[in-house]
């Protein structure tokens, strides 16, 4: 499980996260909601060790992540899909998947690039297209497929639906659920879309100006209208 206690995160002198604590049980699916600039991306990058200076305790499966490089955390089973996707534009769709598999420990290699690609029908016809020539939706699907091929035990998703057509977002719900179901993968989803978050998770946290202001189930969230009005500026779909 993921255990974060007293996390403070900084970019230079800017104090972004202030004493954030949360946990995700094995197989748990958790949403972290908040406005732009609330600290969602900084939280994911802190867990991944990719950017901010983080102080506090971050443990994954009882292992302290302090001092571990991002690649070492990835090899422990943590897959991060950043908001900007980071697709390798000079490689084809299939080559992006092969590259991700090459960096995956042998014990977790359970699928070939071709097998994973088949689970994303929109990518199959463009398997030989270079990443730099993909649409935003195609890049996001490839980023998900790239995470899936590593057979992760924790999936970190940063704003996966931003700017995408509704039909792609609806299909992405099934993709995320499949990744989690296949290997009992835990999920931490940072989003602004309440609809997508509800479909993919069963527990919700709300962050505002670097502090958690709510933690509970979706039923508890729905019962607290003040939280939505004060701390979220998101649409229901």
Domain 25-37+69-231 sits in CATH at 3.40.50.300
The full set of domain ranges for the chain reads 25-37+69-231
Task: Report residues of the chain scoring pLDDT below 50.
Answer: 234-237
According to DSSP, residue 38 is labeled: S
> How much is the pLDDT for 182?
86
Model confidence pLDDT, tens digit, residues 2-50: 999 999 999 999 999 999 999 999 999 999 999 999 999 999 999 999 9
CA 120 to chain centre: 18
Model confidence pLDDT, tens digit, residues 164-185: 999 999 999 999 999 999 889 9
> How much is the pLDDT for 233?
58
Pairing of the two strands 29-33 and 211-217: unpaired
Q: CA distances (Å), 5 to each of 2, 20, 22, 200, in order?
A: 10, 6, 7, 24
């Amino acid at each position: 499980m993921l255990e974060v206690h007293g996390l403070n995160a900084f970019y230079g002198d800017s104090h972004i996260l202030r004493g954030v604590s949360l946990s995700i049980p094995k197989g748990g699916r958790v949403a972290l909601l908040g406005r732009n600039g609330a600290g969602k991306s900084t939280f994911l990058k802190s867990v991944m060790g990719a950017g901010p200076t983080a102080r506090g305790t971050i443990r994954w499966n009882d292992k302290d992540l302090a001092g571990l490089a991002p690649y070492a955390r990835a090899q422990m089973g943590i897959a991060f899909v950043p908001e900007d996707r980071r697709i390798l534009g000079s490689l084809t769709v299939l080559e992006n998947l092969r590259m991700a598999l090459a960096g995956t420990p042998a014990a977790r290699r359970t699928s070939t690039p071709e097998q994973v690609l088949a689970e994303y029908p929109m990518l199959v016809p463009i398997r030989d297209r270079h990443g730099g020539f993909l649409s935003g939706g195609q890049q996001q699907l490839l980023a998900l497929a790239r995470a899936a091929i590593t057979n992760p035990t924790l999936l970190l998703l940063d704003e996966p639906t931003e700017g995408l057509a509704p039909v792609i977002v609806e299909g992405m719900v099934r993709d995320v659920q499949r990744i989690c179901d296949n290997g009992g993968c835990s999920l931490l989803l940072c989003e602004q879309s309440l609809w997508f978050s509800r479909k993919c998770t069963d527990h919700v946290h709300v962050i505002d100006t670097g502090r958690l202001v709510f933690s509970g189930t979706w039923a508890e969230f729905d019962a607290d209208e003040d939280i939505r009005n004060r701390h979220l500026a998101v649409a229901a779909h």
